[in-house]
């Protein structure tokens, strides 16, 4: 990155800009090379000028949320990585809409799992599935995060996207979610950032919602390798089946390349057993894809995003 561009970035944002910053510490996988620049943006007012500058300079950029669903390549990222800080983590009050429904607006940088705990305390039901999902609300919307039969599509009513040109509030048919994706976001790729999300939830007894959260959390701890660094499910499930089941059937659990291993607990997870590189993860991913194709004639597609 040119020094004029570095100075430009520093003049726009009030937070510290980290140059050549290792992304390892910003990913749940603890894997990845450096970003040319990393900004934890604190103020919503700084977002539009930042995007306008980056676009004008033709610098590539990405938002990484809590880095829970990504594999950052060992070469790193040549542009600006943005993390949504304090100003993007606010939770509104719960407005009553009638019919037992209530609306909550939340900043896209808020931790999704923590939001589900807040909703449970307030007696708001609908987000229990996300208890234990470690990513942000914004990331959860873009990939339509889901578990235990629930997903974001069932509770999201409005998504605010900010681009260099302005703000767009997306509602109704434009919220065309599908399995683990929000296709409507494609038009904003590389241009816009989800900054706020409104949810419509059902009024319920707080203790009942809290109990459901506890059950889901216990199931997650039992079935998934929550104590080792990982990036959640590596592959999307093929229609009508489970990627983890197929990987298990093929006897791949425990397979290790360097520090990266297919979890003994769940076949669709790769864990970093210590010092794994993105290259080793990619090798394992290719091995899993090839074996599942030859054993079951099923094409697995990654759920994780590569940076
Ligand atoms: N199974 C095996 N062996 C394994 C793993 C799973 O036989 O190693 C079997 C299970 O016994 C079960 C079936 O496969 O009969 C499905 O497994 P599981 O309930 O673990 O669900 P999944 O389809 O593997 C999905 C989501 C998870 C989510 C769980 C719980 C995807 C790609 N994954 O996993 O989401 O937590 O359901 O609802 O949709 C994520 O997206 O990162 C994620 C972890």
Beta bridge partners of residue 256, listed in sequence order: 261
d(CA 244, CA 262): 10
- Summarised one tens digit per residue, pLDDT across range 249-269 is 999 999 999 999 999 999 999
Residue (of 131, 132, 155, 134) closest to 144 by Cα position: 155
- Segment 38-64 shows an average pLDDT of 95
Residue (of 271, 246, 268, 244) closest to 258 by Cα position: 271
What pLDDT sits at residue 34? 98
- The encoded tokens of residue 21 equal 């910053």
233 as an active site residue: the answer is yes
d(CA 266, CA 17): 38
| Residues 68, 175 contacting (CB under 8 angstroms) | no
244 CA distance to ligand 1 middle (Å)? 6
146 CA distance to ligand 1 middle (Å)? 11
- For ligand 1, atom 28: residue with the closest CA: 147
| Residues 127, 201 contacting (CB under 8 angstroms) | yes
CA atoms within 13 A on the CB side of 39: 25
d(CA 67, CA 111): 11
d(CA 264, CA 37): 36
pLDDT surpassing 90 at residue 98: no
pLDDT surpassing 90 at residue 236: yes
- Segment 151-171 shows an average pLDDT of 96
pLDDT surpassing 90 at residue 303: yes
What pLDDT sits at residue 196? 98
What share of the chain in percent tops pLDDT 90? 98
- Summarised one tens digit per residue, pLDDT across range 173-203 is 999 999 999 999 999 998 999 999 999 999 9
């Amino acid at each position: 990155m040119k020094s004029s561009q570095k100075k430009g970035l520093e003049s726009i944002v009030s937070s510290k800009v980290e140059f050549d910053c290792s992304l390892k510490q910003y990913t749940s996988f603890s894997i990845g090379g450096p970003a040319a620049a990393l900004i934890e943006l604190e103020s919503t007012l700084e977002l539009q000028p930042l995007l306008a500058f980056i676009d004008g300079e033709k610098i590539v950029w990405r938002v990484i949320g809590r880095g829970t669903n990504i594999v950052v390549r060992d070469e790193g990222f040549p542009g600006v990585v943005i993390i949504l800080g304090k100003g993007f983590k606010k939770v509104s009050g719960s407005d009553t809409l009638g019919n037992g429904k209530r609306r909550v607006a939340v900043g896209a940088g808020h931790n999704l799992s923590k939001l589900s705990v807040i909703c449970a305390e307030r007696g708001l039901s609908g987000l229990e599935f996300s208890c234990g999902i470690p990513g942000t609300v914004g990331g959860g919307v873009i990939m339509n995060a889901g578990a235990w039969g629930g997903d974001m599509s069932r509770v999201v009513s409005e998504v605010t996207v900010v681009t260099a040109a302005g703000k767009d509030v997306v509602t109704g048919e434009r919220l065309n979610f599908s399995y683990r994706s929000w296709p409507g976001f494609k038009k904003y790729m590389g241009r816009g950032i989800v900054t706020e999300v409104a949810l419509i939830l059902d009024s319920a007894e707080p203790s009942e919602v809290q109990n459901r959260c506890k059950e889901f959390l216990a199931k997650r701890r039992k079935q998934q390798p929550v104590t080792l660094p990982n990036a959640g499910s590596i592959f999307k499930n093929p229609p009508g089946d489970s990627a983890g089941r197929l990987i298990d059937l093929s006897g791949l659990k425990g397979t290790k390349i360097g520090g990266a291993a297919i979890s003994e607990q769940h076949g669709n997870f790769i864990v970093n057993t210590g010092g794994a590189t993105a290259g080793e993860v990619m090798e394992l991913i290719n091995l899993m894809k090839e074996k599942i194709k030859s054993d079951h004639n099923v094409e697995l597609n990654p759920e994780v995003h590569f940076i």
